[in-house]
Amino acid sequence: MKNFKLHLFLVFFICLALRLQADDGYRLWLRYDQISDPEILENYQANLRTIAFLGEGEIFKTAENELLKGLNGLLTQKTQTVSTQTEADIIVGSIGEDFSFLSTVADENPDNKKEEAFIIEGFEGKTYILGTDERGVLYGVFHFLRHLQLQKPIEDIRISQAPKLKLRMLNHWDNLDGTVERGYAGFSIWNWHQLPEFIDKRYIEYARANASIGINATAVTNVNANSLIFREDYLEKAAALADVFRPYGIKLFLTARFSSPIELGKLATADPMDPKVQQWWKEKTAELYEKIPDFGGFLVKANSEGQPGPQEYGRTHAEGANLLADALAPFGGVVIWRAFVYSEEEPVDRAKQAYDEFMALDGQFRENVMVQVKNGPIDFQPREPIHPLFGAMRKTPVMMEFQVTKEYLGQGTHLVGLSNMYEEILQTDTYQFGENSTVAKVLDGSLTNQKLTGMAGVSNIGTSRNWTGNLFAQADWFAYGKMAWNPNSKSDDIFEEWAKLTFGHEEQVVQTVSSLLDRSYEACVKYMTPIGLHHIMGPGHHFGPGPWVSEMSRADWTSVYYHKADSEGLGFDRTVTGSNALEQYHPMLAAKYENMETCPLPFLLWFHHVPWDHELSTGNSLWMQLVREYYEGAEIVSHMKEDWENLQGMVDEERFEHVLMHLEIQEKEAKWWRDACLLYFQQFSKMEIPADWEQPEHDLDYYESLTFPYSPGIRPRW
């Protein structure tokens, strides 16, 4: 008896130790650890012993390997491959006639006819994972493995999904020298020096992680592009990456520097109307397709922040895009032309520029051009209203650009779940096609009948062992993939899923992790840019507060340009009495914002210059509301840290410490933001922070004197 007890005791501790084994986060959400619930495990074991793979092809083979790998990790038994359906518990193949007995294959299910779609159905003791094509099968397999990791029942499983957007893409701002612009997770994972011979295992794991969340395209080079990428040796390197991505259903894109015909081709001009220039792009594109037959196309930043473009030759963005589109058309490639442009002359309101420039060109782009628009009109600020081009530009496919990296949202150290921000933007009503014309619906083409649809996310990964530097930033990569697959996804589901996949099923852990992700976005907005403030970060590196920034080479790079604090009040008047940026929105959306009394608080200072003592809907004066929000934001972070501390012993020590150290930094930095900004704005408001509240630790001069010469992610200056 004594021995038996000792034995039990030992087993308990071994289990605990195994469960809490140190973890460096490398495996992301694809951990495939053994199912922890014994009953569920037993049920899975009994029903998932054998698989028949009824298909072929490179991507199908990837799906096959993944399913075996997953099951062999999740279950204790070894899953067998069999050749006939009769012997199989799981059948993996193509949706079609043969499976018409499945309800998900029924004619009335529109999804099962779309590209990249899958169904998963349990029928008479067998589980069917079927795709409309190889990619569909791969996505179905990943979905099924996720279903098992989430320990959901398989008996009556009935899932039918098709991606809502065609192009689900990552944009890497990776430079050929290995640095990453706005990257906070180390250096670029692309080892251009050793490619094409050396294929880092990371490339494969990268492709696998992306495929697992439905990402099917990637642009591996920075939009601040280098024409060297088109030199023959670099094309060989890029082709080697494309070879790695192909079995995972991922297409390679490259960024195109508009002046490449001059720099590489030694031509005198890059004018899109010059026949020699046109010929250069045609030849270069043909060379590319010879090396990469499934090449996706070009992503272009032109005439923006010093990048070359067609306007240098008196040509429009459409003429520039069409030059490349014509070169790509014979091969089925697309041009993704960014709308993030602002002119050389300093404008009255930078927020208006992209709309003014691109609306005039609607209808002038070739069929294989997509215009990529940032979520808001300025530049990935913690909170922005939607970009006015969504729903307004109707004759051109418009795709979304989100930032997954957190240039303006705490960079490498802050835990900020971006999914809530994505959801807020995607669910905003543009009103452009009547009520309920959400951004999500504009993007999926259902309102515009666009054939090309897509979303891009500026990647947040690098050479950090756990890919994203800050462990919780993995949740942003995951959430981005989910939103690109289905822009109507719900953040709450995403948080819970990620929490379970990453940390297991312990209830308190799942609840805490989900709630940290859920609370963190609003908290960050509050301690950085509450009530619609924007662009008040440190100069250049955008790290930390810098509301005092007033001397830059352009006025619209300073903070004072955006917050316009003066003795009267605070905020940018974008109504008819100011820049009238509001008129770029549909009148019904504009109506929500145009009146200072009824404008939702989160956007008040984005659209209005509000007197300091003006009483808001909350009953507070503007000043008091500002103070409250800054304090509340910082306080939420302290609570987040406490909640995490309570998980000690429930999360392995390595990840526990990793997250805790970051939360400690975040707590300190949230207070820094709060104190620096309030002291700065107080100079204008001349109003007090309540005396019994924690007072700023330093004076304003101190905060203004801080410099960060080695901040990561700054644009390299060669």
Measured from the CB atom, the residue of 354 and 499 that comes closer to ligand GCV is 354
The residue among 182 and 251 lying less far from ligand GCV, judged by its C-beta, is 182
Dist. CA 471–CA 500, nearest whole Å? 14
Collapsing DSSP to helix, strand or coil, 86 comes out as coil
Considering only residues 135 through 154, tell me which ones interact with ligand GCV, judged by CB under 6 A: none
In this structure, the number of other CB atoms found within 10 A of the CB of residue 283 comes to 12
* Residue 552 tokens, joined: 């830059």
| Active-site annotation holder among 66, 181, 319, 379 | 379
Output the smallest distance, CB 711 to ligand GCV, in A. 12
Nearest-angstrom CA–CA distance, 552 and 570: 21
Write down the residue that tokens 């992700």 correspond to.
517
The structure tokens 């609003």 sit at: 522
Task: Write the interaction track for ligand GCV spanning residues 3-32; mark x where CB under 6 A is met and - where it is not.
Answer: ------------------------------
The rounded distance, in Å, linking the Cα atoms of 237 and 230 is 10
Among 224, 446, 580, 711, binds ligand GCV (CB under 6 A): 224
Residue of 135, 182, 535, 608 that binds ligand GCV (CB under 6 A): 182
Q: Which of residues 300-359 bind ligand GCV (CB under 6 A)?
A: 301, 305, 340
Which among 407, 424, 594, 629 is annotated as catalytic? Answer: 407
- Helical ranges in 466-597 per DSSP H: 474-485, 491-503, 507-528, 560-563, 587-594
Query: Which is nearer to ligand GCV, 173 or 585 (by Cβ)?
Result: 173
- Asked if 234 and 276 count as a contact pair (C-beta separation under 8 A), the reply is no
Q: In this complex, which beta carbon is closest to ligand GCV, that of residue 411 or of residue 514?
A: 411
When the beta carbons of 173 and 603 are compared against ligand GCV, the nearer one is: 173
For residue 406, the minimal CB distance to ligand GCV (Å) is 12
Toward ligand GCV, which CB reaches closer, 105 or 458? 458
Q: Which is nearer to ligand GCV, 539 or 696 (CB)?
A: 539
Catalytically annotated residue among 58, 87, 236, 305: 305
CB-CB contact of 411 with 185 (8 Å): no
379 lies in the binding site for ligand GCV (CB under 6 A): yes
Q: Which is nearer to ligand GCV, 56 or 346 (CB)?
A: 346
Helix 507-528 and helix 622-645: axis angle, to 10°? 150
Can you state the angle between helices 201-212 and 58-74, rounded to 10 degrees?
Answer: 90
615 annotated active-site: no
Q: H or E segment at 145?
A: helix 134-149
Whether residue 560 contacts residue 550, with contact meaning beta carbons closer than 8 Å, is answered with: yes
Q: Token pair for residue 151? A: 């320990």
What's the min distance (Å) between Cβ of 376 and ligand GCV? 12
Please check whether residue 659 is in contact with residue 415, taking contact to mean a CB–CB distance below 8 angstroms: yes
What Å distances lie between residue 658 and 24, 415, 470, 475, 652, CA to CA?
Answer: 9, 12, 8, 15, 10
Q: Which residue has the tokens 């308990």?
A: 12
φ, ψ for residue 471 (rounded to 5)? -55, -40
Closest listed residue to residue 534, CA positions, set 571, 573, 509: 571
**Shortest reach from residue 561's CB to ligand GCV, in Å:** 14
Is 305 known to be catalytic? yes
Q: Going residue by residue from 266 to 305, which x/- string records binding to ligand GCV, judged by CB under 6 A?
A: -----------------------------------x---x
Q: Restricting to residues 687-716, which ones interact with ligand GCV according to CB under 6 A? A: 715
Residue 476 Ramachandran class (φ > 0 left, ψ -120 to 50 alpha, else beta): alpha
Q: What is the dihedral of CA 15, 16, 17, 21, to 10 degrees?
A: 100
Q: Least Å distance between CB 307 and ligand GCV?
A: 8
Nearer to ligand GCV, 301 or 441 (CB): 301
470, 495, 469, 471: which is closest to 482 by C-alpha? 495
Q: How far is the CB of 324 from ligand GCV (least distance, A)?
A: 18
Work out which of 223, 250, 371, 440 binds ligand GCV, going by CB under 6 A.
223
Shortest Å, Cβ 563 to ligand GCV = 18
Site for ligand GCV in 661-680 (CB under 6 A): none
Q: Beta strands 217-219 and 167-171: pairing type?
A: parallel
Is the sign of the CA dihedral 204, 227, 539, 557 positive or negative? negative
What residues form DSSP beta bridges with 569? 611
Stretch (H or E) spanning 381: none
Q: Does 181 bind ligand GCV (CB under 6 A)?
A: yes
Q: Tell me how many residues contact ligand GCV (CB under 6 A).
A: 11
Minimum gap (Å) between residue 173 Cβ and ligand GCV: 5
Q: State in angstroms the smallest separation of the CB of 493 from ligand GCV.
A: 29
Could you say which residues in the range 396-415 bind ligand GCV, by CB under 6 A? 407
Assigned token pair, 525: 């907005």
Least distance (Å) from ligand GCV to the CB of residue 454? 17
What is the C-alpha to C-alpha distance for residues 92 and 119, in angstroms, rounded to an integer?
10
Contact 75, 44 (CB under 8 A): yes
Q: Is position 155 annotated as part of the catalytic site?
A: no
Check residue 173 for interaction with ligand GCV (CB under 6 A). Answer: yes
CB 265, min distance to ligand GCV, A: 24
| Close Cβ partners of 449 (under 8 Å, ≥ 6 residues apart) | none
Cβ proximity to ligand GCV, 555 vs 650, nearer residue: 555
Distance CA 650, CA 136 (A): 37
- CA dist 276 and 384 (Å) reads 43
Annotate each residue in 52-81 with x if it binds ligand GCV (CB under 6 A) or - if it does not, as one string.
------------------------------
Please identify, using beta-carbon distances, which residue of 223 and 393 lies nearer to ligand GCV.
Answer: 223
Q: Looking at the annotation, which residues are catalytic?
A: 305, 379, 407
Interface contacts to ligand GCV, rule CB under 6 A = 173, 181-182, 223-224, 301, 305, 340, 379, 407, 715
